[in-house]
Amino acid sequence: MNEKLSIVIPAYNEEDSVDAILKSCLDARAALIKDAGLSGVEVILVDDGSKDKTLEKARRWTEAKVVPHERNKGYGAALMTGFRASSGDLLSFLDADGTCDPLEFGGLIKALREANADMAVGARLHAGSQMPFVRTVGNRLYALLIRALTGVSLTDTASGMRVFKRGLLSRLAPLPTGLHFTPAMTARVACMGGVFVERPISYAERVGQSKLSVVRDGVRFLRVILGTVFAYFPLRVFGPLAAVFLLAAAGLALLPARTYLGGSGIEEWMIYRLLTVLTLSVCGVIFAAIGLLAQKASNAALGRPVSWVDRPAIRETAAALGASLWLAGAGVNWPTVVEYATTGHITRHWAWVLLGALAVICGTVMVSLSIALGAFAHLPREDAS
């Protein structure tokens, strides 16, 4: 294949393991060149502002390229510095803590080529792995989340050992500078429609103390996954929210509706239930409207081909439904308005006021959605001829 591999190693206060990881990466070069048919392998260590002897020890290894940060910038920032300093056709990385064997890159490269994938991920979640139980559970939950939101199946979303084609790098920006770099990378490639291939890798207990906080970084992992998916597919987040709120509203409205249709009338205590129905319904309609607008904006920003969200029928349906709801709400409450204007009192049952208000509010949201969608039609698109 005549491709060159760049191995990037981010390191922060890893004086106990830096010699071992550099030795193993440098020793693996010949085997990787032979087994994967590479033209060469370069090893780049980025010292991320270490306060111990990591940089001093790393500089003794003259066959490796050592790039220092004057201050600590974060795991993701160190990786990006290494990628910019690299010259390989294939980019790879692994941690400096000794948990992964650089010889595993050979299998990952072969898997990448065989599947014609964009990225090969070393899967650490298997029977022989020494990954702590809590982190294993977290990774599996993130994998389920990504699969549910993007349709991409991947078992190890935060793996710190990967190989990918250099051309993919420019499409991944922006990525976070911290430890949530890897789940963000996974989510972005999945949202872009990239092709993953996974291969089990050995995973040993790390040398030294982990810098990963299960709670703090776990929350960051979750936020970056949801944030990335939302940027590409906001309707996949807002759509389920809208459905949940509207279904809950419908469920709560069953009893008052059944009571009214049975001829018993709406009882006073039901005001709290119906106020909840109104609140849930309005929230559901707003979620749906914002989801459609955000999806439209995302499609336009990313230059996606025209999809069902862009069809004029969506805008026209929203306008017709909104106008109908507004008129219905106004019609329901018109007698109440007239009564109050002429007598200064309201004798109509409060349930009619709530029903009319619900129709007017939802109708206003739908009409506003139609107007906003119409505005998008006047904006230039990258795929326009």
- Per-residue pLDDT of 78-95, as tens digits, reads 999 999 999 999 999 998
Note the pTM of the prediction, 2 decimals.
Answer: 0.74
Q: In the chain, what percentage of residues exceed pLDDT 90?
A: 49
Between residues 263 and 79, the one the model is more confident about = 79
In angstroms, rounded to a whole number, what is the distance separating the alpha carbons of residues 241 and 289? 11
Long-range residue pairs from 230-235, CB within 8 A, at least 24 positions apart, any chain? 230/294, 231/191, 231/298, 232/191, 232/192, 232/298, 232/302, 233/149, 233/150, 233/191, 233/295, 233/298, 234/290, 234/291, 234/294, 234/295, 234/298, 235/291, 235/292, 235/294, 235/295, 235/309
Beta bridge partners of 215: none
State the pLDDT at residue 36. 92
Average pLDDT over residues 166-193: 88
State the pLDDT at residue 384. 41
Count the neighbouring beta carbons within 10 Å of the beta carbon of residue 324.
Answer: 13
Average pLDDT over residues 114-142: 80
State the pLDDT at residue 209. 62
Please, how many CA atoms are within 13 Å of residue 299, restricted to the half-sphere of its CB? 21
Condensed to tens digits (0 to 9), the pLDDT of residues 295-349 reads 988 888 777 776 778 788 888 999 999 999 999 999 988 988 888 899 988 888 8
Condensed to tens digits (0 to 9), the pLDDT of residues 32-65 reads 999 999 999 999 999 999 999 999 999 999 999 9
State the pLDDT at residue 385. 38
**Nearest-5° Cα angle at 305, 303 to 310:** 100
Between residues 1 and 27, the one the model is more confident about = 27
For 320, the token pair is: 């017709």
Burial class (CB in 10 A: 0-12, 13-18, 19+), 51: exposed
Count the neighbouring beta carbons within 10 Å of the beta carbon of residue 144.
Answer: 13
Burial class (CB in 10 A: 0-12, 13-18, 19+), 171: exposed
Between residues 24 and 134, the one the model is more confident about = 24
Beta bridge partners of 8: 44, 93
Position 381 confidence tier, pLDDT thresholds 50, 70, 90: low
Smallest CA-to-CA distance from 27 within 4, 1, 61, 2 is with 61
Give the three-class secondary structure for 209.
Answer: coil
- Given a cut of 70, whether residue 18 has pLDDT beyond it is yes
Beta bridge partners of 198: 121
State the pLDDT at residue 213. 62
In angstroms, rounded to a whole number, what is the distance separating the alpha carbons of residues 8 and 81? 9
State the pLDDT at residue 130. 62
- Given a cut of 70, whether residue 350 has pLDDT beyond it is yes
State the pLDDT at residue 216. 76
State the pLDDT at residue 220. 82
For 373, the token pair is: 């969608």
Average pLDDT over residues 134-140: 76
CB 380 within 8 A of CB 321: no
Position 211 confidence tier, pLDDT thresholds 50, 70, 90: low
Condensed to tens digits (0 to 9), the pLDDT of residues 142-159 reads 888 888 888 888 888 888
Between residues 107 and 138, the one the model is more confident about = 107
Q: What is the mean pLDDT of the chain?
A: 87
Antiparallel, parallel or unpaired: β 3-11 and 38-48: parallel
In angstroms, rounded to a whole number, what is the distance separating the alpha carbons of residues 133 and 230? 29
Average pLDDT over residues 223-248: 90
In angstroms, rounded to a whole number, what is the distance separating the alpha carbons of residues 78 and 201? 23
Buried b (16+ CB within 10 A) or exposed e, 11-26: bbbbbbbbeebbebbb
Average pLDDT over residues 214-233: 81
In angstroms, rounded to a whole number, what is the distance separating the alpha carbons of residues 194 and 169? 12
State the pLDDT at residue 1. 60
State the pLDDT at residue 207. 61
For 43, the token pair is: 């090893």
**Nearest-5° Cα angle at 157, 153 to 162:** 105
